[in-house]
Amino acid sequence: MIRIDPDKKRRRLRVVLPEARRMASACSACGHACGAARTGAGVGTCRAGLGDGDHARWQAATPHFGEEPMLVGRGGSGAVFFSYCCLRCEFCQNWQISRQGAGNNGHFSDLAQTFLKLRSRGVENINLVTPTQYILPILSALEAACARGLDIPIVYNTNGFDSVELVRLLDGVVDVWLPDMKYMAPEPAARFSHAANYPDTARAALRQMYAQAGPLHIENGVAARGVLVRHLVLPDDLSGSYDFLLWLRDEGMTDISISLMSQYSPQYRAKTHPEIARPLTVREYEDVVAYADKLGFENVLIQEMTSKDAYLPDFDREQPFHKRTD
Ligand code: SF4
């Protein structure tokens, strides 16, 4: 198990917290920069808002064995799924929590206890899943948990729609960045996720994450720090897979770790869009994998296409990912 110095992290969190509070008071944590007063009664474009900056809402908190192998290790990734999301993806597989807001409200001290409980179950890291809309109470919870000895890496598992200001703020707090890169062009980003500025925002965020943390560093098979970027290949190259790989190369990020995901299936409202109403074909996926190889990327994780149904969570179940963790 990777160990992090909790006192050092706590010192950094104490510096970060006042700045995070300022950011949340007219929220600019994500690319919407909607300005909601998240330290008061404000509710964001993301629909998150609990009347102060001390509470968050989350659904499951569980050892998760379905993430990439270097996040899972032996003990599993300690995933905490936060409710709502700053993107509105028409094909979201986590729609029960991202769109319907499934979950329970809790004070940051409860969240700190949740982190510590996961740690006591032997997880390899704390995996904050879709955390941006609750960044202030999460940081307060981490500070409280570090004061009580939380000593494992923090994984920031994000849709990638994070402001550069936020990424800078989390330097020294986040150990492993786990962003998506969903689209490279504004038009599909607007049509399928209602955020035309997603590509520019996500590119800037990824550039900053990589500048801060560098490529993924793995110790004894487990991620200790760095960036692992996820890219879900969509039908008809709507996610701009080839442009994404070219952009990474042109940015000099050829040593970055990429998780190329084949698991797309038309969930939630996807069937209302003919372009994304079908699964990915084997050919579409394999062509992207071959292109990554051709460009010289060496740290590419690929997915079995036969397993795509196993990646679908059901947050009404006690174990949302039971098919993947059996
Ligand atoms: S995280 Fe939510 S409240 Fe903050 S800027 Fe984004 S949409 Fe607005």
Q: How far apart are the CA of 45 and the centre of ligand 1, in A?
A: 6
For the CA of 48, the closest atom of ligand 1 is 2
Q: How confident is the model at residue 286 (pLDDT cuts 50, 70, 90)?
A: very high
- Taking the C-alpha atoms of residue 318 and residue 146, their distance in angstroms, rounded to an integer, is 28
Mutate to test the pocket of ligand 1, among 21, 23, 28, 34 (most ligand atoms within 8 A of CB): 34
- Taking the C-alpha atoms of residue 275 and residue 25, their distance in angstroms, rounded to an integer, is 39
Q: How confident is the model at residue 304 (pLDDT cuts 50, 70, 90)?
A: confident
Among protein residues, the one whose CA lies closest to atom 1 of ligand 1: 133
Instruction: Kindly state the average pLDDT of the residues 284-305.
Output: 96
Report which residue type is found at 259.
Answer: S
- Taking the C-alpha atoms of residue 61 and residue 104, their distance in angstroms, rounded to an integer, is 11
Instruction: Kindly state the average pLDDT of the residues 68-74.
Output: 98
The whole-number pLDDT of residue 322 equals 47
Encoded tokens for 142: 């981490």
43 pocket-lining for ligand 1 (C-beta < 6 Å): no
The whole-number pLDDT of residue 305 equals 80
- Taking the C-alpha atoms of residue 294 and residue 314, their distance in angstroms, rounded to an integer, is 37
Q: What percent of the chain has pLDDT over 70?
A: 94
Give the count of beta carbons closer than 10 Å to the beta carbon of residue 237. 17
Phi, psi for residue 177 in degrees, rounded to 5: -90, 130
Model confidence pLDDT, tens digit, residues 85-106: 999 999 999 999 999 999 999 9
- Taking the C-alpha atoms of residue 301 and residue 257, their distance in angstroms, rounded to an integer, is 8
Mutate to test the pocket of ligand 1, among 23, 30, 85 (most ligand atoms within 8 A of CB): 30
b/e map 198-232, b = 16+ CB within 10 Å: bbebbbebbebbbebbebbbbeeebbbbbbbbbbb
The whole-number pLDDT of residue 324 equals 37
Instruction: Kindly state the average pLDDT of the residues 180-196.
Output: 98
Which domains occur in the chain, in start order? 6-26+45-310 (3.20.20.70)
